[in-house]
């Protein structure tokens, strides 16, 4: 997906409020936007929270329902640098095409991971005949040492999944207990989906060296005395050994975490850079049609123009 209601985000987590201890959380309310014709709720980045580990962008797309004959989502050709786009599909099917020549349909329960590195372009569109679309798309900032890594695309059709105590877990990236996801990452990260059809109270071991956030995809959860609503992000900070939470019946939650990326990150439009110059160069290259981004074969739409830096 593409950042269409862009705002500049310059800086690092060092500029954000500290959240310490078991009882403290930072709540982030969603901003509503539209991407490719469907509504999204966005909670990262915001001024008061730029990163969780290397996770630097979080859009919750839909759920959106389409009448028969409606086209669904369509995001035209656009570029990325310096990040991985990470798509977790909950309902519907989306076709990904990129300038390396990949064509991949993503279905519920699957992850698409596009490592942009030095530069790539892609399109995303609903597969015809889909009545519903529901997905989370996140971006993972590449560490400075890997920002120019060659672009690649990986599809993960099956991920570690298990049920315990009334909760269905799917491990999307990283490891948890004895489970290990195959997902390519460039820094220590965790992504896990928790779904509880009937509701549950649970405790999970955490890594004290990771910072974490809980995003509510469906329903609601309780963290101690705090109720966290659908589309809200609860940032949990560092130095927690354990997390205890209550999921309401039908709740679905995304737990994201990672070692703090202690680097200054610049986000503008669909680019993540480590300097303003990284971004300015990418904008100039895209608008000039440079070979850096290639071309998405079979895409007849106009490429999305890049907005100028403020």
Which stretches of the chain bind Mn ion, using CB under 5 A? Answer: 2
- What is the nearest approach in angstroms of Mn ion to the Cβ of residue 74? 12
- What is the nearest approach in angstroms of Mn ion to the Cβ of residue 160? 26
Task: Compare residues 94 and 233 and give the one whose CB is closer to Mn ion.
Answer: 94
- What is the nearest approach in angstroms of Mn ion to the Cβ of residue 168? 28
- What is the nearest approach in angstroms of Mn ion to the Cβ of residue 1? 5
For residue 122, what are the contacts with CB-CB under 8 A and spacing of at least 6? Answer: 77, 78, 80, 85, 96, 97, 98, 99, 114, 296
- List the beta bridge partners of residue 58: 44, 138
**Cα angle value 31/37/40 (rounded, 5°):** 25
Tokens of residue 144, six digits: 């400075």
Q: Using CB atoms, what's the residue nearest to Mn ion? A: 2
Task: Compare residues 2 and 185 and give the one whose CB is closer to Mn ion.
Answer: 2
- What is the nearest approach in angstroms of Mn ion to the Cβ of residue 121? 9
- What is the nearest approach in angstroms of Mn ion to the Cβ of residue 2? 5
- The sign one gets for the Cα dihedral 184, 154, 163, 56 is positive
Task: Compare residues 122 and 195 and give the one whose CB is closer to Mn ion.
Answer: 122
Q: How far is CA 163 from CA 193, 204, 245, 254, 255, in A?
A: 11, 13, 16, 15, 16
Task: Compare residues 2 and 13 and give the one whose CB is closer to Mn ion.
Answer: 2
Task: Compare residues 2 and 183 and give the one whose CB is closer to Mn ion.
Answer: 2
Whether 209 contacts 258, CB under 8 Å: no
Pairwise CA distance, residues 151 & 273, whole Å: 15
Task: Compare residues 13 and 84 and give the one whose CB is closer to Mn ion.
Answer: 84
Q: How far is CA 16 from CA 13, 23, 235, in A?
A: 5, 18, 11
């Amino acid at each position: 997906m593409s950042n269409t209601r862009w705002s500049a985000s310059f800086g690092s987590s060092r500029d954000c409020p500290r959240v310490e201890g078991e009882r403290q959380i930072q709540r982030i309310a969603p901003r509503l936007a539209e991407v490719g014709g469907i509504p999204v709720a966005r909670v990262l980045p915001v001024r008061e929270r730029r990163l969780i580990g290397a996770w630097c962008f979080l859009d919750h797309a839909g759920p959106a329902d389409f009448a028969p004959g409606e086209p669904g989502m369509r995001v035209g050709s656009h570029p990325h640098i310096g990040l991985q786009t990470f798509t977790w599909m909950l309902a519907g099917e989306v076709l990904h095409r990129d300038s390396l020549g990949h064509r991949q349909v993503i279905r519920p329960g699957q992850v698409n991971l596009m490592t942009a590195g030095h530069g790539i372009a892609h399109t995303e569109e609903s597969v015809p005949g889909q009545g519903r679309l529901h997905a989370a798309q996140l971006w993972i900032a590449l560490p400075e040492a890997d920002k120019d890594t060659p672009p690649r695309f990986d599809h993960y059709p099956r991920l570690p999944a298990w049920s315990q105590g009334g909760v269905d877990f799917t491990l999307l990236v990283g490891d948890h207990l004895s489970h290990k996801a195959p997902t390519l990452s460039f820094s220590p990260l965790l992504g896990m989906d928790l779904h509880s059809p009937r509701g549950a109270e649970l405790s999970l071991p955490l890594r004290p060296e990771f910072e974490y956030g809980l995003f509510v995809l469906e329903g609601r959860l309780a963290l101690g005395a705090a109720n966290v609503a659908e589309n809200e992000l609860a940032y949990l900070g560092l130095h927690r050994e354990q997390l205890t939470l209550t999921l309401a019946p039908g709740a679905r939650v995304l737990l994201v975490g990672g070692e703090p990326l202690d680097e200054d990150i610049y986000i503008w439009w669909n680019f993540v850079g480590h300097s303003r110059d990284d971004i300015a160069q990418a904008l100039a290259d895209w608008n000039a049609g440079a070979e850096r981004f290639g071309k998405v074969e079979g895409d007849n739409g106009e490429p999305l123009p890049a907005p100028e830096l403020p």
